[in-house]
């Protein structure tokens, strides 16, 4: 698969911190768990498998 065909996982505030592989991924496609830092646009890409993660539109994050 190339980056254009990789899945996009939409996240809500309850799904943070973001990590990959996520619970919906099949066990056979596992790689070491990596926590992802979302950029200013609320997006991140897994460095192992290329899966893209992004915040769902309208998601509000509570800051400490």
For 13-52, the pLDDT digits (tens) are: 999 999 999 888 888 778 999 999 999 999 999 999 999 9
Higher pLDDT among residues 59 and 63, named by residue: 59
What is the C-alpha to C-alpha distance for residues 26 and 43, in angstroms, rounded to an integer?
A: 22
C-alpha distance from residue 17 to each of 6, 10, 13, 34, 61 (Å): 21, 13, 8, 10, 11
Whether residue 1 is predicted with pLDDT greater than 50 in this model: the reply is no
Whether residue 63 is predicted with pLDDT greater than 80 in this model: the reply is no
Q: Which of 60, 28, 11, 10 is nearest to 49 (CA)?
A: 28
What is the C-alpha to C-alpha distance for residues 12 and 14, in angstroms, rounded to an integer?
A: 5
pTM of the model: 0.79
Report the phi/psi class of residue 9: left, alpha or beta, with left for phi > 0 and alpha for psi in -120 to 50: beta
Whether residue 2 is predicted with pLDDT greater than 50 in this model: the reply is no
């Amino acid at each position: 698969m190339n980056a254009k065909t990789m899945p996009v996982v939409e996240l809500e505030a309850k799904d943070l911190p973001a990590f990959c592989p996520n619970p919906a991924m099949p066990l056979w496609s596992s790689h070491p768990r990596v926590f992802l830092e979302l950029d200013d646009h609320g997006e991140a890409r897994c460095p192992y498998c290329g899966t893209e993660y992004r915040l769902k539109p309208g998601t509000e994050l509570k800051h400490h």
